[in-house]
Structure 1
């Protein structure tokens, strides 16, 4: 670019020199335009820049000679380059001619080959057609062979497999079940063959499969029966083959039910023998286990004896159920599915279309297994109930039986014969309990006597309350639902408490008041103390409170009467009963006999003598009441009522004195001598209500 710039500068200087040297005023317009175009050209134009770059590459010096030959040199160079291009295109033309010749030769060769192929095809066409026909026939034969092999493999049982399925000497193992499953599938798939035009093959195969299945199920049935005779349910690992056999046999409900019946009979005998062994230490085979402690030898207490038998029965039932669960329902609903399929094979074996309930069937089977134990349990518990007359023991037995009955409902359901046995035993124990209590009450009433001088509760009530306490504790720890606890225990309270309280009330009638009321209160308070700590007998406590309130009111009346009569206030109150609150009636009070000066003075003296020891004397009346606090409350209530009565008398006396003074003032006799004035009643009966309350507080 530096050279180009130099060349441009030189060209500009040369042009300036020419313009200066020429003094001709007239210039050619063409030259002027050319020069203007050259001078006005922008060096930023890409074409000019490329031209200048080309000149710079040639290293041409800017001289007059060079400028004159520049165009010729450039044209010469262009001509030379165009000649080189033409020469190269000549070589390309020669190559194209040779390629065309080669293509013509190839075309002729291909045409010859096409003619040979056409001729060969015409000659080999019959052979190819025959070969194609043979290939089609070969494919048909191969297809038929594959179908025949598949048919034989699927629908035909080999002699060896058939021997495993039906042979009595062959073992029942996984191979047996695999073959049994295959034969069942063949029987089902034979139904497809019945849909073809030729049904004979399908009928023959179904008949053969049905016979094989029946023989196989008979073999399985006999094998299960044999295994059940030696099956040990106490083993933690029961053979999986037996479980699988039961699930397979469920597809024949008749055979399955027959196996269950045989199994139930065997298990009933085993459990019954085990129960007798637990009781006595020896079984039917005279085998004695030195490691076990016989229940009849070690359970001396009747309640423990019954509890141990029930506990053993519960433990055996739980173990039996767990073992049978692993046999019958541990693998899901396969037995139920088998029964569903069995209804189609044996529609006569099931009376309804209800789905098989594994849990329900398990409960029924366990119930049948423990039926013998239930009979033995009933016999022994009934012996215990009939041979004892302890009411608490009988109720504890009944409650214990009820506890286990609730427990067995969760294991066996509500329709179990064992639950019926327990219900009958519980009712028998309660019936015997009622009989014993009734006999005790009858014996007590036959020897009915008056209360003791100290008015304490009788011994039979103390004993009855002790029994009731034991009954309450037993019932409180029972499993009776909260909603029915009150109603269920109400009959027990009526039988164990009410007759004894009624007897105490009859005894109270043999003595006078207040001893009768105090004796009854002592008995009721003792009963209330026993009942008050249990929420399910609060209704009975409320009844006792109502009865006690009536007796306490009677004792309060007695104490009030004691205050009135001993204090001498009773004649005054009796005389004032007919006086009305009007002046005409009040003015008659001084004319009444108790309000004459001498009787009123005597009454005042009697009151003064009474007040110092009034409370002590009143408390002495209730000293035989066992609850000292209650005696104090009764006495305090009576004293308060006495104070109210005194207020009434005092008010009447004050009103009379006020009326008499008013009458004197109105008559104008205020200045008469003092001894001629009427004597105020208050001066004759000077005590005030404030003083009375202080002395009786």
Structure 2
């Protein structure tokens, strides 16, 4: 019977728990009937339960048919199968029990053997324990000894120098090469590391090693010092490929400032002799030993004048100084500030050094070294140029030499700094040349003042002024090429103007004092205009030009006043103006004009005639007064200004006369009017006519 057939027998529409719908009485009756109870149990079972479904599935696998016999035998068959299965299990467990018994016997045998082995091991351990402890102590001692051996080996390798290294460092037979510098660097490191030992309990060891290393280092620096001196003797600075080993040696020797300074002193002395000999050869064409050098053109023979001679010497020194500086830059500062660092390190290690507080300036040290190298040349130069200055008495030549010295002084100040022997020599020579120029100029001026000077007939600038201006022009052209800064050019040139310009202008003023007007003023203006023309092209004379222009303006005002007086006096207008001057524009003053002597009819007619005679040639006559003024434009301007003032005066006279006539005509009777004439009819010229005639 399959699970599907069983499920098919379930009444449709009836739930599994149908007895819940019965009354209590009916339910009690069902429970008292076994068949009914069975049916109720079957019907109340839920076939959706997993256990029932598994049981039904197991029945399906057996292939049992749903018959009455099968249903009766099913329980028995199942119980039989369960009994058979239990019997099989019991037999299997019997086999397992037998195996377990054998295993138990085996384990007991092993346990007995282990106990015996433990007894043997314990006895052996008691016998070997002292030996093992001793072996362990020996191994620890061995490890300690090996560690000490390694430490000693490392200490010796680091702090102890071999005999070969010491020989390389101190023996003069060994070269100064890369090996020497490597050993020296190692020795310095050992010396520095010894300071660590001084801070530990091994102070005595550190002191001993430091003492040995210090001796070796001192001998090494002495060896390096002597080697550098030997190299300096054969060093060719003109060779662009200067040995790098020398540069390296100098950087290392800088750690001993005293030795380094001695080297510099030795080098400077050697270079001073070399440059002095070279300068002597350049001057004479022969060496100090008397050997002639055919490749050199002697400056003393090639230079044809003092200025060329001085210029060639200065140019040679400048070239030599620049070459010296470039070569020494390669030696001393081309590698950065390594020398400065070395010197500072040396000063730190020599606290007793008095210069230890000053920082090393590589550029300043270079300038000082170059200056020391050319000190000998500077002495020769000072002597030669001093002789040239004292032996020549040409004013312009003395100033040109001074200006040339000024040019090179400024150039060398930029090259070597302000504190150099060469610069001091050039400053002294420049002052000497300027003093010579001043002396010669004053002698020249004194000679001119001793001569009787008269103004030329045409009132032109005198010859001595023209000559002085020629000298001044040459001086200013020379000064224009100087390297004086723009801010101080004018102030620096003022002393030259005081010596080479002012005395000549003062001489012209003395001449002008003896002339009559307007010749005095015209002569002064001509001299001042000539001075302006000379100074104007140069930008460092602006202040002096301004002063000259102010003086010219004052003299111009004087000439305008003179021309104005000329117009008033020669035109006949002067008496009229003087008579009208105290009068005002009141009616009484205007009526009183007719009673003045200057305005009597016959006098006024004569004044009108004088004016008519003057006007046709007035401008020509006025310009004739200024014919010697060398600026025709200025003469014309002065005359025009004076004429304008004269026209203004005439206009005021005319206005007074017209105003007086108007009042007179209003107040006079007919008889008076018939017997007298208006003033304007007696003086008929108008201001418009005057302006036209004088324009």
TM-score of the pair, normalised by structure 2: 0.83
**CA 1:345/1:35 → structure 2, altered by over 3 Å: closer, same or farther?**
closer
Distance in structure 2 (CA, Å) of the matches to 1:417 and 1:597: 93
1:686 maps to 684
Q: Are the counterparts in 1 of residues 347 and 356 from structure 2 also a CA contact under 8 Å? A: no
Distance in structure 1 (CA, Å) of the matches to 2:103 and 2:577: 164
Within 5 Å, give how 1:642-681 maps onto structure 2: 642-664=646-668, 669-670=669-670, 672=671, 675-676=674-675, 678-681=676-679
Distance in structure 2 (CA, Å) of the matches to 1:636 and 1:575: 26
**CA 1:114/1:395 → structure 2, altered by over 3 Å: closer, same or farther?**
farther
Within 5 Å, give how 1:216-615 maps onto structure 2: 216-343=220-347, 346=350, 349-350=353-354, 353-615=357-619
Distance in structure 1 (CA, Å) of the matches to 2:567 and 2:109: 163
Q: Deviations over 1:519-563 (max 9, x none)?
A: 211221222233334443322122111101110001111111121
2:693 maps to 695
Distance in structure 1 (CA, Å) of the matches to 2:674 and 2:580: 27
Within 5 Å, give how 1:26-45 maps onto structure 2: none
Say yes or no: does 1:641 pair with 2:645. yes
**3-state SS of paired residue (1:482):** coil
Q: CA deviation at 1:301?
A: 4.2
Distance in structure 2 (CA, Å) of the matches to 1:462 and 1:469: 10
**3-state SS of paired residue (2:418):** coil
2:33 maps to none
Match of 1:148 among 141, 149, 152: 152
Distance in structure 2 (CA, Å) of the matches to 1:417 and 1:542: 41
Distance in structure 2 (CA, Å) of the matches to 1:473 and 1:99: 135
Q: Are the counterparts in 2 of residues 343 and 350 from structure 1 also a CA contact under 8 Å? A: no
Deviates more, 1:302-311 or 1:631-640: 302-311
Distance in structure 2 (CA, Å) of the matches to 1:433 and 1:626: 32
Q: Are the counterparts in 2 of residues 448 and 507 from structure 1 also a CA contact under 8 Å? A: no
**CA 1:129/1:652 → structure 2, altered by over 3 Å: closer, same or farther?**
same
Q: Deviations over 1:349-392 (max 9, x none)?
A: 53553233333322222221110111111122222322334444
Distance in structure 1 (CA, Å) of the matches to 2:637 and 2:104: 147
2:134 maps to 130
**CA 1:111/1:515 → structure 2, altered by over 3 Å: closer, same or farther?**
farther
Q: Deviations over 1:289-322 (max 9, x none)?
A: 5444433333334333323322222222222222
1:22 maps to none
1:622 maps to 626
Q: CA deviation at 1:471?
A: 3.4
Distance in structure 1 (CA, Å) of the matches to 2:259 and 2:315: 35
Distance in structure 2 (CA, Å) of the matches to 1:346 and 1:209: 17
Q: CA deviation at 1:17?
A: 11
**3-state SS of paired residue (2:488):** helix
Q: CA deviation at 1:102?
A: 9.1
**CA 1:110/1:440 → structure 2, altered by over 3 Å: closer, same or farther?**
farther
Q: CA deviation at 1:165?
A: 2.4
Distance in structure 1 (CA, Å) of the matches to 2:391 and 2:454: 34
Distance in structure 1 (CA, Å) of the matches to 2:290 and 2:359: 45
Q: Are the counterparts in 1 of residues 287 and 293 from structure 2 also a CA contact under 8 Å? A: no
Q: Structure 2 regions of 5+ residues with no counterpart?
A: 16-21, 31-38
Distance in structure 1 (CA, Å) of the matches to 2:167 and 2:276: 41
**CA 1:112/1:319 → structure 2, altered by over 3 Å: closer, same or farther?**
farther
Q: Are the counterparts in 1 of residues 324 and 370 from structure 2 also a CA contact under 8 Å? A: yes
**3-state SS of paired residue (1:141):** helix
**CA 1:590/1:18 → structure 2, altered by over 3 Å: closer, same or farther?**
closer
Q: Structure 1 regions of 5+ residues with no counterpart?
A: 1-6, 20-25, 42-46
Distance in structure 2 (CA, Å) of the matches to 1:358 and 1:575: 90
Q: Are the counterparts in 1 of residues 665 and 673 from structure 2 also a CA contact under 8 Å? A: no
Aligned length: 670
Deviates more, 1:503-512 or 1:540-549: 503-512
**CA 1:51/1:390 → structure 2, altered by over 3 Å: closer, same or farther?**
farther
Distance in structure 2 (CA, Å) of the matches to 1:501 and 1:635: 26
**CA 1:152/1:586 → structure 2, altered by over 3 Å: closer, same or farther?**
same
Q: CA deviation at 1:226?
A: 1.5
Q: Are the counterparts in 2 of residues 385 and 428 from structure 1 also a CA contact under 8 Å? A: yes
Q: Are the counterparts in 2 of residues 253 and 349 from structure 1 also a CA contact under 8 Å? A: no
Q: Give the RMSD, CA atoms, in angstroms.
A: 4.3
Q: CA deviation at 1:685?
A: 0.5
Distance in structure 2 (CA, Å) of the matches to 1:646 and 1:626: 30
Q: CA deviation at 1:136?
A: 2.0
Distance in structure 1 (CA, Å) of the matches to 2:345 and 2:577: 101
Q: Deviations over 1:133-153 (max 9, x none)?
A: 221222222233223323333
Q: Are the counterparts in 1 of residues 396 and 475 from structure 2 also a CA contact under 8 Å? A: yes
Q: CA deviation at 1:348?
A: 5.0
TM-score of the pair, normalised by structure 1: 0.83
1:4 maps to none
Q: Deviations over 1:386-411 (max 9, x none)?
A: 23344443333323322322222233
Distance in structure 2 (CA, Å) of the matches to 1:162 and 1:118: 64
